[in-house]
Structure 1
Amino acid sequence: MMLKRCTMSPAPSNSRIGFVQALIACVFWGLMPVYFKLLQSVDALEVVAHRIIWSVPLLLIILYFRKNLAGLAIAIANRKLRWTMLTSSVLIAANWLIYVWAVHEDHILAASLGYFISPLLSVLWGRIFLGEKLSRNKWMAIAIAAVGVSVLAVQALDTLWISLALAISWSSYALVRKIADIGPIVGLTAETGILFLPFTLFLIWLTFGMPQPANGQHFGEDSTIDLLLIGGSVVTAIPLLLFASAVKKMTLSAIGLLNYLAPTIQFLVGVLVYREPLTASHIICFVLIWISLALYSADSYLASKAQQKVHLA
């Protein structure tokens, strides 16, 4: 006998709110190159250092008002989790540094390609490290993406490393965070907290111990630059908070599709706003990546629908 599911489905208003939250977060991430372009006069490592340092007090304030400081204390007390967070903090710092450097050096297209590739790498990491099964369509999606990257390697080998480094660091970060039993805000607070001291020491050395170059700007020399450096913590925290809230209100398939909005916006910003050169290999590569993502997303959507039917049976 077939039994109907008794639990109520999420209210449509919640789904709409979640969609708006996720949309705003993805637009934030998509327009991030514009923000970091404003800091082009500051060395990329210094930008990342300030992004990390100013994020710590902001995230602690957020945790205080969310009444979740205890969660941070529990995470810090767990030795295994501390080592996991150390790994993820190194990966996120590397990802941020490569991304900011790429934006400063006019490689926004290469950066956007990296974030297109990373979801497919995440699928591959899930198969290799977590034993997750892949359907034939997902294997095809990965193969098509690999062909796209190979095409780009023929003509744009000098910037391909940027795309691959961002894709590998971000997908590896996602893998570590999936394994770690910790929430998004608590996790980011722990990660930036781990990085706080070394990057603070770096800025002290940069200010007092390193000969100042003739060009370039530093904190304290221009009020606008100072505000932008401090604001890096805000543009880090706001989209993360919105996205974390949206995940609770939306289906994973819908969230997965929205994930591709940010790199698409970055791609458009690079081409239309900053006039980065778009070669034939870029076009072929991006088309193949988009095809692979469409195939991957369609497969995930159909699998999600099939699973819902099983649960409703």
Structure 2
Amino acid sequence: MFATLSTSRIGLIQALIACIFWGLMPVYFKLLQSVDALEIVAHRIIWSVPLLLIILYFRKNLASLGVALMDRKLRWAMLASSCLIAANWLIYVWAVHEDHILAASLGYFISPLLSVLMGRIFLGEPLSGKKWMAIAIAAGGVSVLAVQALDTLWISLVLAMSWSSYALVRKVADIGPVTGLTAETGILFLPFTLFLIWLTFGMAPTGSTQHLGDDRLIDLLLVGGAVVTAIPLVLFASAVKKMSLSAIGLLNYLAPTIQFLVGVFIYGEAMTLSHLICFILIWISLALYSTDSYLAGKAARQPQIL
């Protein structure tokens, strides 16, 4: 019992650190305000490849990458997920640079509920009445936001769609989280390397330049993008094995909550009435969904009396 409790606590600490990493991501990318979003994503992908390969080596899991890439269906799945994650990262960094952190955080609040809906549509997963109600409340919140914040609503919806679609592809693909991210960044490595070469040799349009080498702090932040990508993923993947799914589900909302607070209190983004109503409805829907999931899981764990 004590060993189980200790393991659970370690998992909780790992998950909290990962969520704090993700929640404070806007601060990291704000420090790279002088660098184009596409260039940031390029460096994030390129430097992640060697770091992830090292992690797989020390976890004695390099062989799983080769096995995965030998599977034709899995290669296509990784190609799809790599495009989705690259698009998600690009829009997110651009949104942070353009002072739309609230819109970005809303996207990650919506995505778990959208994932539930996708699971019902594409995988035939059952939905309780309370989960349908949670989705309806969330849709109402988005509708309210559409009235006054239509110009930034697309950011939230595209981030939610890309992340939920990514989660769907990764759910059906038989590959581990770290191995999968290594495969995805590996697929994207060559095109983004060619893009940086294009920038370096001045073939890009006027005003687009390669920033690596211009400033020591910028260099560290560009290369460090690999660390802020890989480390929280490894921690969260480890935490998932030590904690209940209901606890992990609740922690998924910590990162966008931190992002929301960062946008309002650190960068002073405007909080309109429609934002407030939308976020309240989203939080209500998440609370309803999480409570229903917790109770369903608790009931499933109860011993059956014959």
Normalising TM by the smaller chain, what interval? Answer: over 0.9
Gapped regions of structure 2 (runs ≥ 5): none
Q: Which position in structure 1 is the counterpart of 2:74?
A: 81
Summarize the alignment of residues 163-242 of structure 1 with structure 2, pairs less than 5 Å apart: 163-211=156-204, 213=206, 218-242=211-235
2:44–2:222 Cα contact (<8 Å) kept: yes
Query: Does the C-alpha gap of structure 1 residues 92 and 268 become closer, same or farther in structure 2, counting only changes over 3 Å?
Result: same
User: 1:54 aligned to 2:44?
Assistant: no
Q: CA deviation at 1:209?
A: 3.8
Question: Residues 130-149 of structure 1: CA distance to partner in whole angstroms, max 9, x if unpaired?
Answer: 00000000000000000000
Q: Does 1:122 align with 2:111?
A: no
What residue is the counterpart of 1:5 in the other structure? none
**Which residue identity is paired with 2:62?**
L
Mapping for residues 9-48 of structure 1, pairs under 5 Å: 11-48=4-41
Alignment partner of 1:132 is 2:132: no
Residues 250 and 217 of structure 1: is their aligned pair in 2 closer, same or farther, counting only changes over 3 Å?
same
Structure 2 counterpart of 1:246, from 225, 234, 239: 239
Tell me the secondary structure at the aligned position of residue 11 of structure 1: helix
8 Å CA contact 1:15, 1:250 repeated in 2? yes
Q: Which runs of 5+ in 1 are unaligned?
A: 1-7
2:233 paired with 1:261: no
Decide whether aligned partners of structure 1 residues 10 and 146 sit closer, same or farther in structure 2, where only a CA change above 3 A counts: farther
Q: Conserved in 2, the CA contact under 8 Å of 1:21 and 1:242?
A: yes
Change (3 A) 1:295 1:42: same
Residues 53-84 of structure 1: CA deviation (Å, up to 9, x unaligned): 00000000000000000000000111110000
Q: For residues 11 and 120 of structure 1, what CA distance do their matches in structure 2 show?
A: 30
Distance of 2:231 and 2:35 partners within structure 1? 23
Task: Look up the SS of the partner of 2:270 in the other structure.
Answer: coil
Assess if the C-alpha contact under 8 Å between 2:144 and 2:274 holds in 1. yes
| 2:201 partner SS | helix
Q: For residues 303 and 9 of structure 1, do their structure 2 counterparts lie closer, same or farther at Cα, with a shift above 3 Å needed?
A: farther
- Other structure's SS at 1:277 match: coil
C-alpha separation in 1, matches of 2:260 and 2:213: 33
Deviation of 1:210 after TM superposition, in Å, equals: 2.5
User: 1:132 aligns to what SS in structure 2?
Assistant: coil
1:67 to 60, 81, 86: 60
How far apart, in 2, do the equivalents of 1:161 and 1:226 lie?
32
Given that 1:41 and 1:217 are in contact with CA atoms closer than 8 Å, whether structure 2 keeps it comes out as no
User: Secondary structure of the residue that 2:60 maps to in structure 1?
Assistant: coil
> CA shift at 1:282, angstroms?
0.1
Contact 1:55 1:236 in 2 (8 A): yes
Q: 1-side partners of 2:198 and 2:209: how far apart?
A: 16
Query: Which of residues 88, 91, 94 in structure 2 aligns to 1:95?
Result: 88
Q: What is the match of residue 304 of structure 1?
A: 297
- Higher mean C-alpha displacement, 303-312 vs 226-235: 303-312
- Paired with 1:173 and 1:26, the residues of 2 have a C-alpha distance of 18
| Inter-CA distance 76–214: structure 2 relative to 1 (3 Å threshold) | closer
**2:84 match: secondary structure:** helix
The match for 1:152 is 145
Measure how far apart 1:223 and its partner are: 1.2
Q: CA RMSD in A?
A: 1.5
Give per-residue Cα distances to partners, 1:159-218, cap 9 Å, x unaligned.
Answer: 000000000000000000000000000000000000000000011111114357458771
CA distance in 2, matches of 1:287, 1:52: 35
Partner of 2:147: helix, strand, or coil?
Answer: helix
Indicate conservation of the 8 Å contact 2:18/2:235, yes or no: yes
* Alpha-carbon spacing, 1:134–1:105, altered in 2? closer, same or farther (3 Å): same
CA distance in 2 between counterparts of 1:37 and 1:210 reads: 27
Quick one: which amino acid aligns to residue 295 of structure 1? L
Task: Tell me what 1:106 maps to.
Answer: 99
Does the residue aligned with 2:126 lie in a helix, a strand or coil?
Answer: coil
Letter in 1 for 2:25: M
